[in-house]
Amino acid sequence: MKRKIAGIAAMTTVTAIALTGCAGSDGGGEGAPIKIGSVNTLSGAATFPEASEAAQAVFDRVNADGGVNGHKIEYNTVDDKGDPAAATAAARELVGSDEVVALIGGASLIECDINKKYYEQEGVKSMPGIGVDPGCFNSPSIAPVNIGPYNDMTLTLLNGSENLGIDDICVMLEIAGSTLPAYTAGVERWTEITGKKPIFVDDTVPYGGSDYTPYIVKAKEAGCKAIAVNAMEPDAIGQVKAAQAQGWDDVTFLFLTSVYSENFAKALDWTSAGAHIPAEFYPFTEDSEINADWSGLMKENNIALTSFSQGGYLAATYFVEVLKSIDGNITRESVAAALEGMDPIDNPMVAYEYQFKKAAEQDYEPGAWPVELKSGTRAWEKAAEDWLLFPSSK
Amino acid sequence: MNGSALLQGALAGLASGGLYAVLAVTLTLMSRLVRVVNFAQAATGMFAAFSAVWFADKLGLPTWFAIIAGVIVGALLSGIIGWIAATWLSESTVTLRSAMTVAPLLLLISLSFIMFGNKPQPFEPILSGPAFSVAGVVVSWVTVVMAALAITVAAACSILLRKTTVGTKLRALSERPTTAELIGIAAKPLSIGVWAVTGAISAITIMVIAPSQSNDAISLSMLIIPAAAAALLGGFRRLDLAVVGGLSLGIITGIVAQIPAVSFVRNFIPFLFIVILLLWSQRKEVWDAAR
């Protein structure tokens, strides 16, 4: 019996050593590839394919130039279909069987909340190109490149009250899953900074609803001069059209970066007193040196020019820089340590310096560039000459 | 919360009410004449509307031509589904025929993602702007046209069924399909015709409404749910009650959005509507019979 127990104990120990000691691909071998992954929402109703495509383009370019210290990058993107079970499986496929050293440049609707505990347990770090769900902004293992929809909410309100001088702002929230507390906190941050309060906060606006007229009428009745909405593209278009049908021609729309696209601008000829958003990265609709490298690389690879591809590009670019700073073997542990201890990276496409630890703790000064869509132009244009920043919440 | 806000809400909900009513009328027609609850009704309209946008946007056809082409696409699609039902499921139960239409619903949603992408379509409004104001709420042209369209379609169908030869044949087919065929009424062309006409009506409806609301494939296709709730008021038999059901559902949704205390239920309104109607319609059933 004792012998049996000792045998089981020995086997358990060996297994444990095998599981921990060898976790992360052994990038130590001469010329062995560096395995990186990302979990993305590539199919379903809302998809973000550009982030990982952009990251792939950056890694391909690095590989074409000989890789990182002689190691080629192997990048594997997995689709979570916007489905919790698929997101769980995708993380396990990448971290467990592919043994990636880190997760870089993804964009998913749901992945962070579902997988953050697993990433912590496996000691793997994730740097999403675009963090969407609240889990992306409250885990020590996950540090997105973007400021996220909740900071975006604060910024769009700041833009409305401070830059545009609008006092009567109403907040309409479309809540999917458990995002309400995060958005509410975003609105409260604005109140903290400015001392102003929204006329009302309606958190019952339907997500993917069809006709928004009743909500628009309610806001118009309440005397709102601007409405701040966290809608995705189709819903935001519906809301603007409902206001147009109501003949509400002096309202300002304060949206989030999620509607910042050429497609959205093309779909709306009428935007009342204008649709304003704080662009999370330097406005891609402007011709500028700042975006030149990114837009050149995207065009070369036929990738859409969107905020999502900016996020994926930035995540991959930052990560390559971190990889180059690693002396010795590139393993999951050495990559995690390098990300934890990285020096801040400054990039003119972003308002703030990126440092993994600070981004994970949300301890930085989020900022965005105000952009507007005026009636009759069908094109976004810059609405400010500098970044709009607010003090960090820490 | 005051009366004027509720009135405003009611008027604001009228546009979607009209939309539900038109779709409910087409559903009722299908149920009466071709023994089917067509789950793909709204999806057919969605696909037709997306095709019209594609014709105008990618092929550069003039808007009116694109609209006509879109309506034809809607009629054809619906006709094809009708042909399947008439060819292979002509003797099947209503349940089976209705279940079959779930396949084209899913197929059309997926196909629209593949062909037109999952970004909103750049719809050019056919009608836009306010028609008149009541109590400070602007009633848009879309609302007026939708409500009028619902009533017109219901009235026209009613007259067609009662006063014309085609109507009589259709009624005969739906009441006694075998007898009607034996006396020489061509069942297949007639039933496919009903499918095609309702497809065209759905296409026109979605084209009118799509530019003024969320117009992605899923939200448009899922309009079938409130439409079915509305048709249930008339038991999928009575056109007039289908119109009343659609308009009331829209008005209730509009009112509920104005009352903060209950606005959280607004997503379940069609469901509640269905449950209440079912309970009401079964109220006199005794346990044995109702099972």
Q: What is the pLDDT of residues A299-351, one digit of tens each?
A: 999 998 999 999 999 999 999 999 999 998 999 999 999 999 999 999 999 99
Domain ranges of chain A: 34-148+287-363, 149-279+368-389
Q: Looking at residue A241, what is its pLDDT?
A: 87
- pLDDT > 70 fraction of chain B, expressed in percent and rounded: 97
**Domain A34-148+287-363 and domain A149-279+368-389 have a common topology:** yes
Dump pLDDT digits (tens) for A258-291: 999 988 998 888 999 999 999 999 999 998 999 9
Least confident of A211-225, B60-74, B79-93, B167-181: B167-181
The pLDDT of residue A14 is 45
**Quick one: CATH architecture of A149-279+368-389?**
3-Layer(aba) Sandwich (3.40)
Give percent of chain B above pLDDT 90.
49
Q: How confident is the model at residue B57 (pLDDT cuts 50, 70, 90)?
A: confident
For chain A, the average pLDDT equals 90
Six-digit token string for B189: 């062309």
Residue B275 phi, psi (nearest 5) = -60, -45
Phi, psi of A99, deg, nearest 5:
55, 55
A133, amino acid identity: D
Please say whether the dihedral angle defined by the alpha carbons of residues A39, A42, A47 and A53, taken in this order, is positive or negative: positive
Closest CA to A50 of A328, A311, A269: A311
pLDDT tens digits, one per residue of B134-163: 777 778 888 889 889 999 999 999 999 899
Percent of chain A with pLDDT over 90: 75
Residue B15 with chain A: CB contacts under 8 Å: 211, 213, 245
pLDDT of A394: 47
Over the Cα atoms of chain A, what is R_g?
22
Q: How far is CA A154 from the centre of its chain?
A: 16
Q: Do A245 and B253 touch (CB under 8 A)?
A: no
Cβ contact (<8 Å) for B5 and A218? yes
Nearest CA of chain B to the CA of A353: how many Å?
Answer: 32
Query: Which residue shows structure tokens 């609209």?
Result: B67
Contacts of B142 in chain A (CB under 8 A): 245
pLDDT, position B261: 81
Which has the closest alpha carbon to B228: B266, B280, B269, B176? B269
By C-alpha distance, the chain B residue nearest A221 is B5
Q: Where are the beta strands (DSSP E) in A15-72?
A: 34-40
pLDDT for A161 beyond 50: yes
Q: Which fold has domain A34-148+287-363?
A: Rossmann fold (3.40.50)
Does B15 sit within 8 Å of A211, measured CB to CB?
Answer: yes
Q: Report the pLDDT averaged over residues A72-79.
A: 96
Return the bridge partners of B143, or none: none
What is the rounded average pLDDT for all residues in chain B? 88
Measure Cα distances from B244 to B20, B36, B229, B230 in Å. 10, 21, 11, 8
Report whether pLDDT(A11) > 70.
no
pLDDT of residue A74: 96
pTM for this structure? Answer: 0.84
Count Cα neighbours of A125 within 13 Å in the Cβ-side half-sphere.
Answer: 25
Task: Give the strand pairing for A125-127 and A73-79.
Answer: unpaired
Per-residue model confidence (pLDDT) at position B291: 53
**pLDDT score, position B2:** 66
pLDDT digits (tens, 9 = 90+) for B103-113: 999 999 999 98
pLDDT of A210-252, one tens digit each?
788 889 988 998 999 999 999 988 889 889 988 988 889 999 9
- Write down the pLDDT at residue A211: 81
Instruction: Give the pair of three-digit tokens for residue A327.
Output: 């002396």
- Give the 3-state secondary structure of B271-290: HHHHHHHHHHHCCCCCHHHH
Partners of A45 on chain B (C-beta within 8 Å) are 118, 216, 218
Give me the pLDDT at residue A124, please: 97
Q: CA quadruple A368, A382, A308, A36: dihedral positive or negative? A: negative
Distance CA A317, CA A238 (A): 36
Is pLDDT above 70 for A6?
Answer: no
User: Taken in order B234, B239, B244, B249, is the CA torsion positive or negative?
Assistant: positive
Interface test with B, best of A211, A259, A264, A271 (most B CBs within 10 A): A211
Percent of chain A predicted with pLDDT > 70: 91
Q: Lowest-pLDDT range, A176-180, B119-123, B234-238? A: B119-123
How confident is the model over B19-46, as a mean pLDDT? 94
Tell me how far apart the alpha carbons of residues B117 and B133 are, in angstroms, rounded to a whole number.
38
Q: Shortest CB distance from B214 goes to which of A221, A235, A247? A: A235
> CB count, 10 Å around CB of B232?
23
Lowest mean pLDDT among A111-125, A166-180, B227-241, B250-264: B250-264
Q: Do A209 and B219 touch (CB under 8 A)?
A: yes
B5, B214, B264 ranked by CB distance to A208: nearest? B214
Could you give the angle at the alpha carbon of A307 between the alpha carbons of A302 and A308, nearest 5°? Answer: 70
Cβ atoms of residues B212 and B140 within 8 Å: yes
Nearest to B137 among A212, A217, A266 (CB): A217
Chain A window 102-121: which residues touch B at a Cβ cutoff of 8 Å?
Answer: none
- Residue B259 CB coordination number (10 Å): 15
Rg of chain B over all Cα atoms, to the nearest angstrom: 19
Mean pLDDT of all residues in B267-278: 88
Contacts of B267 in chain A (CB under 8 A): 206
Q: What is the H or E stretch that residue B170 is in?
A: helix B165-175
Confidence bin at A255 (pLDDT 50/70/90): very high
Task: Give the closest-approach CA distance of A240 to chain B in angstroms.
Answer: 8
Judged by DSSP in three states, B252 sits in: helix
Structural domains for chain B: 3-289 (1.10.3470)
For the stretch B17-27, pLDDT in tens is 999 999 999 99
Query: Chain-centre distance of CA B46, in angstroms?
Result: 11
Nearest CA in chain B to A215: B257
Confidence of residue A176 (pLDDT cuts 50, 70, 90): confident
A30: pLDDT confidence band, cut at 50, 70 and 90?
A: low
Mean pLDDT confidence for A185-195? 95
Query: CB-based contact (8 Å) between A233 and chain B?
Result: yes
Which residues on adjacent β-strands are paired with residue A170? Answer: A227
- Min Cα distance A222 → chain B (Å) is 10
| Residue A393 at interface with chain B, using a CB cutoff of 8 Å | no
CA torsion A369-A370-A373-A377 (nearest 10°) is -70
